[in-house]
């Protein structure tokens, strides 16, 4: 297992290099000059030129890319053009909210969607199956921002059960921490939940028709034991895959969800940086998120080996 992990980790290095170059190139071909934005409406051409020289924007593209990649190798994500703070510091300040939101949403999605998918497959064609499929289709159809506003109106404005917006760190207590995350986590998890439920149902339907499942039932094993121990275990590879892929949905949805609920996370940081043309912050956030996504895919690949020992890399 350790050699496999080492090989996969080494393989992620060129992937992250390509991602870093792509991020740098993409942001530098988009319209808008950060020097003009920083200088203000009444700046002269000379003022703008000085700012461009200070930021290194007057250098050729390949020189800027080389300098930036060199900083990345040293762990330096640069300095924010707008605030003057290190990008790593800004990301560290906002990471707790985003990590808490995505993990909570993932826990809700998996804990609800997998049992629903198993139950729908077990009761194929029944009212339960139809209800689960209606839920899955509805989950895909509801825009995240619309659902967020609906939940805020019902549970925060009408019943006053949960706060409208904001975030409380875990160090201030578990209940204040959870109260501020319940609504945004449920909002973010709905699409993800629908995706996992449909994939779980489809994967389970393929396994339940196998001979060894019929044999297990014929031997008198309890349905719960057969579904979980035999069927779900053998149907887990597609489910694990979609959970890993769905992590990208959580990251993308976090941008909208954090805006709706005013969470001080990486999504809000990215939106503010885009508006201000704060290139170092945008590059840093995208690079960090891409690295996390690559690591998630690595974990998924390693889980394949655990779930199915026949798989080798």
Going along the chain from its start, the domains and CATH numbers come out as: 87-307 (1.10.3720.10)
pLDDT tens-place string over residues 55-102: 777 788 788 888 878 888 888 888 887 788 898 899 988 888 888 998
Which residues does 267 contact at the CB level (< 8 Å), separation at least 6? 98, 254, 255, 256, 257, 258, 259
pLDDT tens-place string over residues 23-32: 777 767 766 6
Q: What is the pTM of this model?
A: 0.82
| Choice among 13-17, 107-111, 205-209, 236-240 with the minimum mean pLDDT | 13-17
Contact between 90 and 272 (Cβ < 8 Å): no
Q: Minimal CA–CA distance to 284: which of 8, 94, 103? A: 94
pLDDT tens-place string over residues 144-189: 888 888 888 899 888 888 888 888 888 888 898 999 899 999 988 8
Q: Report phi then psi at 86, rounded to 5.
A: -60, 140
Pull the structure tokens for residue 129: 């199956």
Within 10 Å of residue 66's Cβ, how many Cβ atoms? 12
The pLDDT assigned to 182 comes to: 92
Which residue's entry shows tokens 């975030």?
Answer: 167
């Amino acid at each position: 297992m350790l050699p496999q992990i080492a090989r996969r980790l080494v393989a992620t290095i060129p992937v992250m290099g390509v991602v870093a170059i792509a991020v740098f190139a993409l942001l530098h071909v988009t319209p808008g000059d950060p020097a003009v934005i920083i200088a203000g409406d009444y700046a002269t051409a000379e003022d703008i030129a000085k700012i461009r020289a200070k930021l290194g924007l007057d250098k050729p593209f390949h020189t800027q890319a080389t300098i930036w990649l060199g900083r990345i190798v040293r762990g330096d994500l640069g300095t924010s053009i707008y605030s003057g703070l290190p990008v790593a510091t800004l990301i560290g300040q906002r990471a707790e909210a985003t990590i808490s939101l995505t993990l909570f949403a993932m826990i809700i999605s998996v804990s609800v969607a997998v049992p629903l998918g198993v139950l729908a497959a077990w009761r194929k064609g029944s009212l339960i199956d139809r209800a689960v499929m209606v839920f899955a289709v509805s989950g895909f159809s509801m825009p995240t921002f619309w659902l967020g506003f609906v939940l805020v109106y019902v549970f925060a404005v009408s019943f006053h059960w949960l706060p409208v917006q904001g975030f409380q760190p875990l160090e201030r207590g578990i209940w204040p921490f959870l109260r501020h995350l319940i609504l945004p986590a449920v909002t973010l998890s709905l699409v993800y939940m629908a995706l996992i439920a449909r994939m779980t149902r489809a994967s389970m339907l393929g396994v339940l028709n196998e001979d060894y499942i019929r044999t297990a039932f014929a031997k008198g094993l309890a349905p719960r034991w057969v579904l979980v121990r035999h069927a779900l275990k053998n149907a887990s590879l597609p489910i694990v895959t979609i959970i890993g892929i769905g992590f990208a949905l959580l990251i993308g949805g976090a941008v909208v969800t954090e805006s709706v609920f005013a969470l001080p996370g990486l999504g809000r940081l990215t939106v503010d940086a885009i508006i201000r043309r704060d290139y170092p912050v945008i590059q840093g956030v995208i690079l960090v998120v891409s690295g996390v996504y690559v690591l998630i895919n690595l974990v998924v690949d390693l889980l394949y080996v655990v779930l199915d020992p026949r798989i080798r890399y």
